[in-house]
Amino acid sequence: MRKFFKPALFILTIFILFPLQCFAKDDVTVLLLYASWHSDTHGIQTVMQKLIDSYGGKVDYFLCNVEDPDSCRYVKKHRINIPQKIPSVMVFVDDKLVFEKFYEQDKMEELVKPLNSLILSFI
């Protein structure tokens, strides 16, 4: 009985001091809202896809063409308000909006650097 008691007490103490939530990773989702008429739509999509691929499947990625309601299932499911400025990138952690930025042409680094830092802090 004593041999079993000490390890069990140790394990119980660890779970009390360090809840299971400490070990769980956050659910990160990146949403790119775009319009086909925007001149740099292809450029932003390409850069975002490369960035998302670099996380090795740890980040969910959705594209939403604001002109095509069928492409915006994630937006409808979570009742997200579409920003007035397009293209925009939104990041959700556990379904809570934590980042939103309008992409301005020729300012890719101003978008990618903070976005990458934020995502890496959650995965």
Architecture of the CATH domain 25-122: 3-Layer(aba) Sandwich (3.40)
pLDDT at position 8, please? Answer: 52
Structure tokens at 68: 């095509």
The two tokens of residue 23 are 């070990």
Q: Which residue has the tokens 């969910």?
A: 60
Q: Where are the domains of the chain?
A: 25-122
DSSP designation for 108: H
Q: Is a pLDDT exceeding 90 seen at residue 5?
A: no
Residue closest to 31 by CA, chosen among 106, 100, 103, 107: 100
Identity at 117, one-letter amino acid code? S
What is this structure's pTM?
A: 0.74
- 52-96 confidence digits (pLDDT tens): 999 999 999 999 999 887 888 888 888 888 888 889 999 999 989
CA distances from 9 to 1, 14, 77 (A): 12, 9, 44
